[in-house]
Structures are given as structure tokens and as C-alpha cells.
A = this chain, B = another copy of it.
Amino acid sequence: MAIVVQKYGGSSVGTIEKIKNVAQTVVRRKQAGDDVIVVVSAMGDTTDDLIGLANEVTSNPDKRELDALLSTGEMMSSALLAMAIKASDYDAISYTAYQIGIKTTGQHGKSLIDDIDGENIKKSLSEGKIVIVAGFQGINEEGHITTLGRGGSDTTAVAIAVKLDGICEIYTDVDGIYSVDPRKYKDAKKLDEIDYEEMLELSSLGAQVMHSRSIELGQKYNIPIYVGLSNSDIKGTVIKGVNNMNMESKPVTGLATSDDDVAITIRDIESDINTVSSLFESVASKRINIDMISQTAPVNNRVNLSFTIPKVDLSECLEIIKPFYLEENQIAIDQDITKFSVVGIGMKTTSGVASKMFKLLSQNDIGVKMITTSEIRITCAIKQKDKVKAINVIASEFNL
């Protein structure tokens, strides 16, 4: 008998009919002898509808109150699922974040789970109950309701699995993790398994299957995470540590692209580590995520500095960096970039991936504007018109 933590996303509980189906699936798992904890998202578009209400009130809703509002979506779906299970004569109980002590830190709207007081869950399991938990929410030190950000229910599920040493299963509307987004590359292959690091890189690159924080938690506590369809014979993907893997020799596991960023270049600023670091600190202090950075070699003690940020943060960022240059023409903004990344834990041990990739891009007349690399990923900024060609060339070469 194992403790199983299952997470069902918003589309899996989008209607009462679907909630009843989930109830049946969950009951069958309980009948098979496992202790079952179910983490649910809000029904269908509930979260968007609630955000819509808030935006009717004001264009800039207070973040504490927005969290209080949004948290109700998961409370509704968890209560309804518990009802559905009890109606089929299995015992169940729904819990909100404060009832099981999901303690969070950090900002409203993107809080981090700090700890979970698992006692109420354990007690209910020991009484034979199926436990339903409202995902996405927590309570911070001040007793305020917080939310974990889009997809945060994944993190709720993994955190509970960590706390109770359980198995974690994320049920979603895709049948697993693909090496490339199948909407972008029709021959994309589904992966049986993927390393936490690889998955993190892919998530941060816009593969929106999983909440990044859930993967970090899984990695930290070495909890494998199954991702796939519920009620299906199609096998999904297990996210786990590379040490537990049947490693294939592939150096590249996945490929991801994103059109959501913009490149800012500041010309002729002082080549002074304090200036540059203070600029990045100012930007980071507003929680604007700087990704690719490149700097030219100094000429007369002046450099050109380029970096990418999410498009949505552009105007705020331009305000922040104003003190760092004198004239408007020192600034150039490039909206025509696609971030193109390949990811693979195998790169740590396989050399030549970068050179092979650049050679292929060059042979296909694809210009590279910026490059950044980590131990397991290579990212270049290319023109948006080259995206499809680049995907086809690279995915086919690396058998993705």
C-alpha cells in the first residue's frame, strides 16, 4: 500500500460530469489498496473568470485581495470532488490550505511553499478517507491567503508527496512531455523519462506543462513525478533524477522556443563592473527576469551591453535603466527575437553540441543574434521568421 498524491488540472475538473469521472478514478485507486490524496485546480476557466471580475473592479487589483479571491476557485472544486466521492459511498474530506497548514513565503501571486503540516492529512488517511486538497493556495506568516502562481497546484501536489513520502502523479490534458512542442514540430517524440534539470530548463523556456517550482521540489527531495493523461493506456513521462534513469546516449533531450522576450541593447556605457551589476540589480529588484546577457569587449573603456527580458516588462524596465545612460540613441530595442534552446543532461559529458548546432544554423542561413549557455542548455536569439526552419533542422539532426 502506497501513499499516492494525484493532481488533476482545471480541464480535468472543468464540469460536474468530469468531476464525477475523477471521483470514480480516484475511488478505483483507493479500492486497489492505496492511500489517495487528490490535489485539484479550479474548474475550467474559473481562475480566469475571477481575474476578470477583479479587473472589472480595478485595472490594478490589490495583490493580497486578488489571492483571497482566486483561492476560492480551488476551494469550490475540492468541495465538489469530495461530495462526488462521498456520493459514491467512499469517505472523503476536502481541505483548504489553512486546514492542513500549507505555509508559504514570498510575494502574493507567486508564493513559495515553505512547509506543510501534514497531520490532518495523515489523520484522515488513517480513518480511511480519500483526502482532497485545494491546490494553488497557501497561508503566509501573517495569516494571509496566498497563491503559488499559474500551475501552482502541481507544486502543492509535489510538496504533499514530499511531506508524506508519497508517489506523485500529475494528470493533465497532454499525454506526457515531448522533446519539442508537438504543435511546433509534428514529428516530436514523447519522452519516457526526463531529468529534473532538463525539465526545469524546458519549463523556464516556455514549455508550459509543469509549474517550475514543482520540479525544483521534486529534484530537491528526489520524488519522481509522473505526468500524463488520467484514465488512459497511453504511457506518460516520469520526471526524475538522471541517476535513476536508463540513460540513452542522446546529448540533447529537448528543444524549446519562445517569442515572449525582447532584447535591449545599451551602447557605450562605462565598462565598470559596478555600473553593470548595479543596473542588473535595479532591474532584478523589480522582479523582472533578465535572461540572455552579452557584452562586447571594451573600447576606450566603453562597452555595448545586451540582455533580454519578458516583453510584458519592457516599459517598466526602460524606466529603471534610464539613470544608466545619457542619450536616447544609446538604447536599441529588438522585438524580433525568438529564443531558441536545446537542453540535455548529456551535454555535460558530450562535447561539440554547440559547434554542431551553430554549424547547422549557419548552413541554413539562420543568423544568431545572441548566445548564452549553461551546463545543460544552449540558447540563441534568432529572428522570428527563422524559427520554424531552425526547429526542423535541429530537431531532425538530434532525433528529437
Enumerate chain B residues within 8 angstroms of A56, measured Cβ to Cβ. Answer: 16
Q: How far is the CB of A64 from chain B (nearest CB, A)?
A: 7
A87 and B69 within 8 A (CB): no
User: Considering the complex, which residues of chain A in the window 144-158 have a beta carbon less than 8 Å from any beta carbon of chain B?
Assistant: 145
Residue from B61, B64, B83, B84 in contact with A93 in the complex, judged by beta carbons closer than 8 Å: B64
Residue from B19, B83, B99 in contact with A66 in the complex, judged by beta carbons closer than 8 Å: B83
Asked whether A96 is an interface residue with its Cβ less than 8 Å from the other chain, the reply is yes
CA distance A327 to B4 in the complex (A): 56
Range of interface residues on chain A?
35 or more
Enumerate chain B residues within 8 angstroms of A98, measured Cβ to Cβ. Answer: 98
CB<8 Å pairs between A and B, sample of 15: A53-B76, A57-B84, A58-B84, A58-B87, A60-B87, A62-B86, A64-B93, A65-B79, A65-B82, A65-B86, A68-B82, A69-B80, A71-B75, A72-B72, A99-B143
Residue from B62, B78, B80 in contact with A83 in the complex, judged by beta carbons closer than 8 Å: B62
Asked whether A94 is an interface residue with its Cβ less than 8 Å from the other chain, the reply is yes
Q: How many copies does the complex hold?
A: 2
Q: How far is the CB of A25 from chain B (nearest CB, A)?
A: 15
Closest residue to A75 on the B side, CB-wise?
Answer: B72
Enumerate chain B residues within 8 angstroms of A84, measured Cβ to Cβ. Answer: 57-58
Closest residue to A58 on the B side, CB-wise?
Answer: B87
Report if A16-B79 is in contact (Cβ < 8 Å); known contacts: A94-B68, A99-B143, A145-B96. Answer: no
CA distance A84 to B57 in the complex (A): 6
Enumerate chain B residues within 8 angstroms of A143, measured Cβ to Cβ. Answer: 99, 120
Q: Which of A57, A76, A86, A96 has the most CB of B within 10 A?
A: A57
B57 and A19 within 8 A (CB): yes
Report if A68-B79 is in contact (Cβ < 8 Å); known contacts: A86-B62, A99-B143, A143-B99. Answer: yes
